Amino acid sequence: MSKAKGPLELAEAAFRKDSEERFLILGGGVAALRAAIAIRERNCTAEILMLTDEGVLPYSRPMLTKTPLRGFSTGPYIVHDENWYRENGIRVQRSSRVIAVRPESKSVQLANGHVLQYDKCIYALGAESNIPPIPGSEMPGVITVRRDCDIEKMRRQILRAKRAVVIGGGVIGLEIAWEIKKAGLEVTILEVAATLMERLLDEETAGLLEQAVREAGINVVTGAKVTGITGAGAAEGVALAGAGTCPADFVVLSAGIRPNVEPAKQGGIDCGRSVKVNARMETSATDLYACGDCAELEGVNSGTWTNACGQGYVAGANAAGDDLVYDAIPDPILVHAVGTALFAIGDAGKRADMTYEIVWDNKVKTAPLYRVNPYPGTAAPHRKYFFAEGKLLGAALLGDLADMQQVRKAVAGGYSRSEFFGKEASI
């Protein structure tokens, strides 16, 4: 069994229980992969079979919007190659779409009619891009960004396009708009909220981010009321209430995610918007665990890479017989676009029932320094911290992410102002 060095590699586990069980892992994302790793760390002899409906091995999905579109290839972002799976006794069955899970018979039905049995099952089917009920969203030339094949569609569009519209100003919307801009197109972002990332950022930070986006040559319309996507047989523009039509040769929809829950519902598994789990990642069905973008813990589905990693590992470990609890950590957002970077975490001063102490600071420094060179015109690095009830509840860093990990730890630990600013060495 090969040993690995990185966070997605095999390591020694305190709990061990070898068996001849079959572990069926539904999905090919990072949650599924982390579950497989956790199982194999604890069980050297069990059968592990991963099912993915994609035609490639698990890859780093966040890189879809962080890579130049003209030169994109999935290859460099494959997390592990064929040899790694072979050496670690993990089989990956590609192009296999799950349509139903049957807990009563411990079986899974595939779209091709095959039925697979399991002893333990990890439900990690992830999510698809959410498609709002916008008239015209089904037309050719309307693209979502969730899979490597979506990037290939966009790359073909770019070859004959001069302008594009991105509906949605979240992380994916901003990053893909920047990649389209770098490919030489005119780009407009349409955001329904009054500011970019309204739910996650305070107004000042959102304003500075919007300034950076505009100065990078990308048009931004906030408070946009999209009434439809127009075109004769293919997308040609986006209609806005009271504001005419924004012309486009293609349109990118970036409006969040839609968890894949239908196969679970088919088996009577308790679901909300996602599959409901407890802190051990157990579902309402015996020997069935769920994790990642398709799971919700205490009603929360974050849809982030970080939580998918953690939940996948806990699900796999507990399926193997361990007893771990997933401790949800403050979930950050990280954006690399328009020549700068944004890190935001926790409470951005939004709660009406809370009295905040807001601190702007340029003193906290650590080494080695990681600084993103701002795009021409971008404001100086911006740091903003939100304290309440004596604790650091949230922060936003724009332009300089030197203190990103320290800030994350401080928010998770509820550091006081004196602990954060007065004891940098212990942060």
pLDDT tens across 254-287, in order?
Answer: 999 999 999 999 999 999 999 999 999 999 999 9
Question: Would the pLDDT of 370 be above 50?
Answer: no
Number of domains in the chain: 3
Q: What is the C-alpha separation between 173 and 254, in angstroms, rounded?
A: 5
Q: Supply φ then ψ for residue 349, to 5 degrees.
A: 75, 30
Average pLDDT estimate for 316-327: 96
Q: Percentage of residues in the chain with pLDDT exceeding 70?
A: 92
Cα distance between residue 116 and residue 5, in whole Å: 33
In a domain, 2, yes or no: no
The more confident residue out of 146 and 422 is 146
- Tell me the C-alpha distance between 274 and 422, whole Å: 42
Q: Given 205, 237, 253, which residue is the final one in a domain?
A: 253
Please indicate, yes or no, if residue 396 is contained in any of the structural domains.
yes
Q: Does pLDDT of 75 surpass 90? A: no
DSSP secondary structure code for residue 293 in this structure: G
SS3 409: helix
pLDDT at 423: 52
Q: Is residue 85 part of a domain?
A: yes
User: For residues 156 and 149, what is the distance between their CA atoms, to the nearest angstrom?
Assistant: 11
> Given 230, 253, 276, which residue is the final one in a domain?
253
Averaged confidence pLDDT in the chain: 89
> In terms of domains, do 151 and 220 share one?
yes
Q: Is the pLDDT of residue 373 over 80?
A: no
Banded pLDDT at 380 (limits 50, 70, 90): low
Query: In which domain, by residue range, is 165 found?
Result: 142-253
Q: Residue 12: inside a domain, yes or no?
A: no
CA nearest neighbour of 58 among 35, 91, 80, 40: 80
Same-domain check for residues 83 and 147: no
Work out the average pLDDT over 217-238.
95
Q: How far apart are CA 3 and CA 10, in angstroms?
A: 6
- Residue 3 counted as domain residue: no
pLDDT of 234 over the 60 cut:
yes
**262 and 235 both lie in a single domain:** no
Is 39 in the same domain as 85?
Answer: yes
Residue 387 and residue 306 share a domain: no
Confidence of residue 1 (pLDDT cuts 50, 70, 90): very low
**Contacts by 367-371, CB closer than 8 A, 24 or more apart:** 369/402, 370/400, 370/401, 370/402, 370/404, 371/399, 371/400, 371/401, 371/402
Partners of 229 in the β-ladder: 238
Same domain flag for 152 and 100: no
Domain annotation covers residue 1? no
CATH of the domain at 98: 3.50.50.60
pLDDT band at 339 (very low <50, low <70, confident <90, very high): confident
Question: What is the pLDDT, as a whole number, of residue 198?
Answer: 92
What sign has the CA pseudo-torsion 345, 350, 353, 354?
Answer: positive
Listed ranges 28-32, 327-331, 414-418; the one with the highest mean pLDDT: 28-32
pLDDT for res 361: 65
Q: Are residues 249 and 270 in the same domain?
A: no
Residue 330 pLDDT level (bands cut at 50, 70, 90): confident
168 and 111 co-located in one domain: no
Q: What is the CATH number of the domain that holds 391?
A: 3.30.390.30
Indicate the pTM of the whole model: 0.87
Q: At what angle do helices 148-158 and 171-182 cross, to 10 degrees?
A: 40
Q: Does some domain include residue 206?
A: yes
Contact between 34 and 7 (Cβ < 8 Å) = no
Let me know whether 121 and 262 are in one domain.
yes
pLDDT digits (tens, 9 = 90+) for 10-67: 667 788 999 999 999 999 999 999 999 999 999 999 999 999 999 999 998 888 888 8
Q: Are residues 214 and 235 in the same domain?
A: yes
- What is residue 118's predicted lDDT score, i.e. its pLDDT? 98
Is 137 contained in some domain?
no
pLDDT band at 222 (very low <50, low <70, confident <90, very high): very high
pLDDT for 324 beyond 90: yes
pLDDT tier at 69, thresholds 50, 70, 90:
confident
pLDDT tens digits, 119-149: 999 999 999 999 999 999 999 999 999 998 8
